[in-house]
A and B are shown apart, each in its own frame.
Chain A
């Protein structure tokens, strides 16, 4: 991991998994070998309080979801119905398009966050006087409530009198009905997601870029290379760990994304911006608890299929480099 945050925290894993084999973290160089001492000093029961909460509220539901996903369920009684829920889930056109939308949303948001985050980070690590201010300005939306952002942008994007439409029409562009047109709704929400989240990506990249030793750039200077060469041959490859982090973070966030979509379009118009998470909520609201849980299992599998191999791959790349 190359992510130095510049603050007090030691270089920690922005990606959790990166931590395991790192030298600085390998504990017990001496003295720790005596079991009795360890048990006294670092007792296992320290895990217990956290473990109980985590186990009850997170693990148990995750595990039982694999049973309830195969039932018709009223919360009080459940009837085993085999694969019916999944059949139902995949036979409805709306739910299938939800699957596709989830992927589109996750890929678009993480792609844009990588590109824009990198771009902003390069600009903001350059010799700009106002970079402190700019960093804050770009980062602040990360801290703002998603609901607040969703409502504000729904108003700004209103096609008849919204600010965006007003400005665009002054320059002679007829804007689309961003959130009201089935063709643009999902992408419009994704853009707002990028607006809100790009600050975090930028800061992760800034940390990554600042950690690149200066000699690499000086070497390019000696060879007579320009800014582009520096970016292409130094920044881009050496900031790869930051790229991995940003991709993983935004994929995990994007695949599970619910709150922004729900506040801006409720999955509409029609089903055009429905994602798996919003389908889970709708089926839950309608009282189809088994079906909703089946949706959860589908999402679980999707996330596992995408994120797990990707993080393995990134990890191995990182070890090599």
Chain B
């Protein structure tokens, strides 16, 4: 999938705006200032051998991943996943509940923990997709959000066995107080949806020179 530098630049800027909004929302939830790095965006073919997710999911070395997913259907088909290292999630949950932080890194999550991660993931993914959709005049019809724990290999398998052909990957790092939580957002898209997205960006690009 070839993209001009300007297309890539516009895509990155659109996600910058929406991830910035998501950081603002997260800041409202945890009641602390959030520092956010500039996301790097890549478009990859899901089935390609060159699609080396290992290379891009830097936290795989930490083992278990917590993946919060929001799927969409009808006009645009695909799913967006917010991926964090599960080891950091205990601290993240404490921050969301504004509780005293406990130094626990176990993966023994309760239904309440999953509910919190599902809801926070839902809010962040809605913000990123919704704001990007508002900027490009795309409407998404969402299905119910899900949250699952994966090991890195299972996750790689899940990503490569999607019905959707292309993936957009955004690498993000939130720094909340003294806690750095790095993660990624993966958006799987059908070919039709990706082509439509790129066509809208090209129209935006053309309008710059009118």
A and B are interacting partners? no
The interface of chain A, by Cβ under 8 A from chain B, is none
Contact residues of B with A, CB < 8 Å? Answer: none
